[in-house]
Structure 1
Amino acid sequence: MNKYPYLGSPLTIRGIYYRNRIFSTPTGLTWPDEYSGAPDFRTVMLYEKKARGGAASVNYGETPVNAVDAVRRPNVDEIRPDFKRMVLPAKDWIKYTDAITRHGANPCIQLAHAGLFAEPFFNRDSNGTVVGPVDMSKESGTHVKAMDQADMDRIANDFAEAAFCAVQAGFNQIMIQCCHGWLLAQFLSPAWNTRTDEFGGSIENRAKFPLQVFKAVREKVGPKVVIQTRISGDEHQNNGWSLDDCVAFCKMIDKYVDIIEISSGDYHNSEHYCWVNPLMDHFINIPIARELKKRGVTSYISAVGGHNDPKKMDDLIREGVIDFFSIGRGILADSDLPKKWLTGKEEDVKPCIRCSDCMAGLYNGFYQCNINPTVGQEAYLLNTPSPQSSKRVLIVGGGVGGMQAAITACDRGHQVTLVEKNDCLGGTLLFTDYGHKDDLKQLKDYYIRQVNKRGIHVLYDTEANLTLLDRLRPTDIIVASGSSPRIPDIPGIEYAKHATAGYYQADTIGQKVVLIGGGLINCELAVKFAEEGKDITILELTDIILRDANMFIKPTIEEIFRKYASSVHVVKNASTKSISADAVTYEDTECVEHILPADTVLYAIGSIGNNKVVEELRSWPYWESFRAVGDCTGAGIVKKAIHQGYFAAMDIL
């Protein structure tokens, strides 16, 4: 069955067969073998899962082309396939490429050079030299040497040699990183390239060195290898390169490359555009792809950018707007996404919530998917024994943590009863039914569908207590009772509602809104209300807002706040003193009181775990295993509930 004939249609390029039009993009999560530096067995298992899931191409990710001046961060350095040092590169890498090809996908590797953003400390052969398009000093004090022709020749050869060795190791598709502020993008962008010689100024001049790289790679690998590149269609930075520049350059490389993948942003000034988040549109780069086709670029076109609707994707390919769709985080959330889409099982795809915590984790060393607890854990999960018998499992709480626990326990053969005190499942995420955070709503709806599709006995409008335990006699108990909003001790608080638990609707929100608390919940609400034309004031007790937002969400919200500066007002160091039916009074750091007219007041200052039920149920003396998971053990993000719910269920043996 192929529900989407265009999205699922095969295509052959240079003799290389692509079984459909869905590419798995670089997403990190790679680990080095301690001897060779090539991908270890954990990496192979993760990427093999992507190939088994139905993607036509699986991209290994950013790989520096040398150990002299190309590396920008340590985890990439440690997993670098240093092809020029390997005596037998195929010996060390074939286990990876074979794991991709044996499932019918094409292995691709992204070759890159960090340019002026390389760090000498992470380049093992470095003499402290960093190179880039212009001579400059970085904030760290590191000097950047403007590349001369000898540097360009050397680095172009590094790209070519790395590509050649990659092909020898089994890669039949090579991606040249040409966006997001890497070296080639630094030459192409007038924001970075201010040279006044033959390599600066016009797009023809700025493109000379990148063209040298593409030419060198094509000549080295020959005509039977697919060359792909990734381009930022819009850098979203001052003096960044234009769409006209993008079209002109893509036409220049048409004779060397086969596939051009459109992205956006720059790691260093507009990083939040590189991985779109819930505050951005889905299919965000399609207008650029459409323009490239319209203006005569002949290479096949792909794009990244929150692709989550296979029907729309099928239509866009049919209309000739685009040829492939590249998906990264969506395939982290569900590695079987391509297979499920193309066989009409869309409702079984666990939807990516675009939180970007996975990518933010690249920078704090804790890189996991918030909603898929198995990503990166494939090897460790092999150590989980199978259940010895079918247990009677009781799950308390119908939020995402409880539902994940129930689904996992059921899939492992246990008899599962899920108890929910309300008349529906969804827990805290029920607020998404009211027009806010659609990505989270899709996740909530997915979990409800999966519970309903299984033989899970759900008891609605039921309080979990000792009497219930005496009746059900479970062998194993998992409590996911969630949390309750922390209510601020403010006179007149009865005139306010909690920002999400109040289940706000558009017709209940007035024109003048005061939000008490400057965390992510209220700031995202401020965005929603600003787009609806309301006047919003955020009162934050400290001098920092968005303390709980990651490095991609925060700049997006700050950018939107600047756009709506006339209607979104942020007051820091503001102590709320009282609330009335039509106003809020706060005090500033000078102890001066201010009165804000307010039609609606919402607060979000944290949550308190519902642990009373935990302690009551724990006191029942007949259980074999007992676990409390999620917010009832202390408020956290959705990841905590899902991951803890999953592993608690896996531990029932």
Structure 2
Amino acid sequence: MSPATTPPAAANYPHVFRPITVGALTIKNRIQYAPVVSNHAETLTGAFTHDLLAFVGAQARSGAGLVTIGSSPIDFDRARDFYGCLSVTRDTDTGGLSLLADEVHRYGAKLSIELTHAGAISNFRYPNGPAFAPSVIPGIHDPATTKQIDRDEMDEVKQHWVDCIRRLKIAGFDMAMIHAGHMNLFASFLTPLLNHRTDEYGGTPENRMRFPLEILAACREEAGPAFGLEMRISGDERTEGGVSLDERVQFLNAAAAYIDLVNISTGGFLNPLAIAYTHPSYHLPRLLNVETAAKIKEQIPIPVSVVGGIVTIDEAEEILAAGKADMVAMAKSLMADQELVTKARLGRTDEIRPCLRCLDCMRHPHKGAPFRCAVNPVTGRELQYREIPPARTKKRVLVVGGGPAGMMAARTAVARGHEVTLWERSDRLGGRLFECASLPLKDTYPPYIDWAVRTTNGCGAKVVLGKEAIPEAIAEEAPDAVIVAVGAELIMPPIDGIDLPHVVTVVDADLGLKPVGANVVVCGGGLSGSECALGL
């Protein structure tokens, strides 16, 4: 595309849409789709499925230059940390893998996959012997069961990495990500918190780096010069006594002989809050790892990608423009709007559906279910909802309720070709979400409400505020169909005294509708109660 025809937003985000050379690869822009486990692979075997193909295709359609599939264990029997991980461990896997590569390449993106050995984080719902660790340490799923990996087993693990690289090359992948963060097996060799060995693989920083560097050297030998290798690390383990920044830089300078890109994440399983740092919600600051990435970038010779709490394309541009990273990795925002990067490139940023950072997406894979998104019903259902089919018969549809569900229903019904009217009893759209947005820590909620209200008002539906859906009014409207989306009601538990005048609901407290005084007891320690207490 010539400069004269460059889309306006691409010009507004020059650093985002500048291609980058990573090893022998040229990547079309600086956005990386960070690794996520969609749980669409076959649960017990990790085999390819068409649901997975549809999900990965949506990742590529987002417009990201590099798509990295999440958490594929190098040993499917004893290295997994999730349900539904994609297997790269059998030669017969290459057929399905090649379909994934073809799908991503259709959109001009490069395809990578995160290869991991979970080590002490191994998921004991699928046990096959004790978890490997550099030393006998508590396992996360079964604290009593870990095994200090011996030399023969180390050679076996190293060969697993090499074999996975070989299969990915055959399948047409462009890169592989070596997962060396979050205190998995690779990372646990590096940290003095977990590596208590007394042989040549423990003790000094140089010894603790020895096995990880042997793995990287073997992977590079198999990969050759044309296949890309990236590596994910925890820039900060978030645990006292962990790997220092200087040690981390020392390791990365040694690793730079073998890898083309490093991805800066954070956290490790010894810290109970590790999952919060690794997958930051609105409770944690945005741009969580950017300053650490910037310090590392200044001291190593290879490109740096950063992940963690990066929500908008504007934030990505700011990070890149400031020289704090060479690429920006995002995931949750790209699930909230599966065309985010493309919309930004085409100047349609006002259409981008904002991410709430609510982490509802992470709730599902940890219980063995596919990804879902609180604001995008298509995410995780790409095969089912590949497109919105036009209605066979145009109908007059009445939507009752102007909260998130009612607005989504109205927009979808209009997209299908129906004549839609939406009634909302109050004087505004937004429903309960509007009430949640009053809390200062939920700074992502107002942008989503603004987007939902704006797109609903502009979709072609007739929006009527201050209209209650009583039977007589519905009969007078005489719609062909009614969609009821009246939202949730507060549950009042049967507690003596709950109806006393000084007892207020969490909604009344959050919105400031009733005074709460200076001496407050919050009854209930769930998310609503905890956030109310923080707000007070």
TM-score above 0.5, yes or no: yes
Whole-Å Cα distance in 2 between the matches of residues 334 and 357 of structure 1?
15
User: Rg: which structure is higher?
Assistant: 1
Deviation string 1:123-165 (CA, Å, 9 cap, x unpaired) is 6xx5x35321013575847643322333322222221221122
Match of 1:100 in 2: 104
Letter in 2 for 1:252: A
Whole-Å Cα distance in 1 between the matches of residues 136 and 502 of structure 2?
60
User: In the TM superposition, what is the alpha-carbon distance from 1:54 to its structure 2 partner?
Assistant: 0.4
User: In the TM superposition, what is the alpha-carbon distance from 1:360 to its structure 2 partner?
Assistant: 2.6
Whole-Å Cα distance in 2 between the matches of residues 338 and 103 of structure 1?
12
Whole-Å Cα distance in 1 between the matches of residues 369 and 131 of structure 2?
28
Match of 1:285 in 2: 289
Letter in 1 for 2:305: S
Match of 2:300 in 1: 297
Match of 1:471 in 2: 476
User: TM (normalized to structure 1)?
Assistant: 0.75
Q: What is the correspondence of 1:212-223 to structure 2 with a 5 Å cutoff? A: 212-223=214-225
Matched, 1:309 2:316: no
Q: Report if aligned partners of 1:428, 1:501 keep a CA contact under 8 Å in 2.
A: no
Match of 1:625 in 2: none
Moved more, 132-141 or 230-239: 132-141
Aligned partner of residue 243 in structure 2, secondary structure: coil
More strand by share: 1
Instruction: Classify 1:374/1:312 alpha carbon distance in 2 versus 1 (closer, same or farther; 3 Å).
Output: closer
Matched, 1:440 2:445: yes
Match of 2:534 in 1: 527
Whole-Å Cα distance in 1 between the matches of residues 434 and 482 of structure 2?
24
Matched, 1:481 2:486: yes
Instruction: Classify 1:345/1:384 alpha carbon distance in 2 versus 1 (closer, same or farther; 3 Å).
Output: closer
Q: 2:257 aligns with which of 255, 258, 262?
A: 255
Deviation string 1:246-265 (CA, Å, 9 cap, x unpaired) is 22222221221111111111
Q: Report if aligned partners of 1:358, 1:370 keep a CA contact under 8 Å in 2.
A: yes
Deviation string 1:329-360 (CA, Å, 9 cap, x unpaired) is 22122211111223332222222222223223
Matched, 1:352 2:359: no
Letter in 2 for 1:226: G
Deviation string 1:607-645 (CA, Å, 9 cap, x unpaired) is xxxxxxxxxxxxxxxxxxxxxxxxxxxxxxxxxxxxxxx
Aligned partner of residue 67 in structure 2, secondary structure: strand
Q: Report if aligned partners of 2:395, 2:419 keep a CA contact under 8 Å in 1.
A: yes
Whole-Å Cα distance in 2 between the matches of residues 244 and 506 of structure 1?
52
Whole-Å Cα distance in 2 between the matches of residues 287 and 333 of structure 1?
26
Match of 1:152 in 2: 154
Q: Report if aligned partners of 2:399, 2:422 keep a CA contact under 8 Å in 1.
A: yes
Instruction: Classify 1:23/1:520 alpha carbon distance in 2 versus 1 (closer, same or farther; 3 Å).
Output: same
User: In the TM superposition, what is the alpha-carbon distance from 1:82 to its structure 2 partner?
Assistant: 1.7
Match of 1:591 in 2: none
Moved more, 375-384 or 202-211: 375-384
Match of 2:414 in 1: 410
Letter in 2 for 1:307: I
Matched, 1:122 2:131: no
User: In the TM superposition, what is the alpha-carbon distance from 1:92 to its structure 2 partner?
Assistant: 3.3
Instruction: Classify 1:49/1:497 alpha carbon distance in 2 versus 1 (closer, same or farther; 3 Å).
Output: same
Letter in 2 for 1:412: R
Whole-Å Cα distance in 1 between the matches of residues 100 and 259 of structure 2?
24
Deviation string 1:252-302 (CA, Å, 9 cap, x unpaired) is 2122111111111124532221100110011111011111123x1121111
Letter in 1 for 2:380: G
User: In the TM superposition, what is the alpha-carbon distance from 1:378 to its structure 2 partner?
Assistant: 2.1
Whole-Å Cα distance in 2 between the matches of residues 279 and 73 of structure 1?
24
Instruction: Classify 1:200/1:315 alpha carbon distance in 2 versus 1 (closer, same or farther; 3 Å).
Output: same
Match of 2:279 in 1: 275
Moved more, 437-446 or 488-497: 488-497
Whole-Å Cα distance in 2 between the matches of residues 164 and 279 of structure 1?
41
Whole-Å Cα distance in 2 between the matches of residues 490 and 174 of structure 1?
60
Match of 1:326 in 2: 329
Whole-Å Cα distance in 2 between the matches of residues 74 and 135 of structure 1?
25
Q: 1:494 aligns with which of 501, 506, 519?
A: 501
Matched, 1:236 2:243: no
Whole-Å Cα distance in 2 between the matches of residues 333 and 196 of structure 1?
48
Matched, 1:134 2:135: yes
Matched, 1:399 2:403: yes
Deviation string 1:49-95 (CA, Å, 9 cap, x unpaired) is 1111201111121111124542345533xx42223x43xx5433211
User: In the TM superposition, what is the alpha-carbon distance from 1:12 to its structure 2 partner?
Assistant: 2.5
Aligned partner of residue 383 in structure 2, secondary structure: helix
Letter in 1 for 2:48: P
Q: Which runs of 5+ in 2 are unaligned?
A: 1-6
Q: Which runs of 5+ in 1 are unaligned?
A: 530-653
Identity %: 31
Deviation string 1:582-604 (CA, Å, 9 cap, x unpaired) is xxxxxxxxxxxxxxxxxxxxxxx
Aligned partner of residue 384 in structure 2, secondary structure: helix
Q: Report if aligned partners of 2:88, 2:94 keep a CA contact under 8 Å in 1.
A: no
Moved more, 340-349 or 138-147: 138-147
User: TM (normalized to structure 2)?
Assistant: 0.90
